[in-house]
Amino acid sequence: MSLRRFPAIESGGLIWFAQDPAADFAPAQALAPDLDAFALGNLHLYRRHTHDVAANWKLIIDAFLESYHVQRLHAQTIAPFFADGITVADRIGPHQRAAVGRTDYLARIDRDDWRQVRKAMTFTYHLFPNTILVMSPDYLNVLTCWPQDVGRTLVEDIMLIPSAPRDAEEERHWDKSWTLLDTGTFAGEDFRAAALCHQGLASGLVEEIMLGTLEHGVAEFHAMIGQALAD
């Protein structure tokens, strides 16, 4: 009774839905070849955890739209994997994608070999508005922000691996990756930084924020939000 039907599609291994009956899924469909290359629809759900973060959801997304913070904020966790990194980014409709590659490896690998490319590069996708995909060399994380309040967000982190661990050694391998990324990097550093940024903004004393040239992804995200709200 009184239920509303909303548009939804399956594309690139994901189910996309919108509350807008006139939603345009063409950009989502344009991303399908990318997501299919990571076999997103055929992976094994290794672990999931929902983080309760005291920050506005947009501050959490911001942290995944530039990569220069990795060497500083993540100095104790993942920074060594990104030493000497260069980034390239572009947009597909309202969605963004970026690749961070290590220049010393890139010069040596066969760039037509997808496995070698994935070892040398980390890909990040922002699926507008609230989802981030982080493609590590042999697994990936799907982070979805669910705003609860202006200053509180539930972030669901899902780690997907090629297939279920077959023995204790494989389990240890994936558990180590989970702990490094979900617990150490995301919760311990990115979400914590977002919560600290939120405290600063919530003071009401910050009148404006200037973004640097390495933060154009952040600027584009906020412009897209403004456009979506105006539509």
Contact stretch for Fe ion (CB under 5 A) within 6-14, 60-68, 101-109, 142-150? 60-68
CA dihedral 134, 218, 63, 143 (to 10 degrees): -40
* Residue with the two structure tokens 């403004």: 226
- Chain position whose Cβ is nearest to Fe ion: 190
Nearest-approach distance from CB 103 to Fe ion, in angstroms: 20
- Is residue 11 within 8 Å of residue 29, measured between CB atoms? yes
Contact stretch for Fe ion (CB under 5 A) within 12-20, 149-157, 161-169, 187-195? 187-195
Residue placing its CB nearer to Fe ion in the complex, 31 or 66: 66
Residue placing its CB nearer to Fe ion in the complex, 28 or 155: 155
Nearest-approach distance from CB 197 to Fe ion, in angstroms: 12
The enclosing H or E element of 11 equals strand 8-11
Nearest-approach distance from CB 72 to Fe ion, in angstroms: 10
The DSSP secondary structure of 113-163, one letter per residue, reads -HHHHHHHEEEEEEETTTEEEEE-SS-EEEEEEEEEETTEEEEEEEEEESS
Backbone angles phi, psi at 90, to 5 degrees: -150, -175
State in Å, rounded, how far the first CA of the chain is from the last one: 29
| Options 190, 194, 195, 197; binder of Fe ion; rule CB under 5 A | 190
Backbone angles phi, psi at 41, to 5 degrees: -80, -5
Nearest-approach distance from CB 105 to Fe ion, in angstroms: 21
**Rounded to 5°, angle at Cα 191 from 186 and 197:** 145
66 belongs to the binding site for Fe ion (CB under 5 A): no
Nearest-approach distance from CB 73 to Fe ion, in angstroms: 6
Contact stretch for Fe ion (CB under 5 A) within 63-71, 115-123, 169-177, 210-218? 63-71
Which residues in the 114-153 window bind Fe ion by CB under 5 A?
none
Residue placing its CB nearer to Fe ion in the complex, 47 or 69: 69
Contact stretch for Fe ion (CB under 5 A) within 31-39, 46-54, 92-100, 188-196? 188-196
- Is residue 34 within 8 Å of residue 125, measured between CB atoms? yes
Binding site residues, Fe ion, CB under 5 A: 63, 190
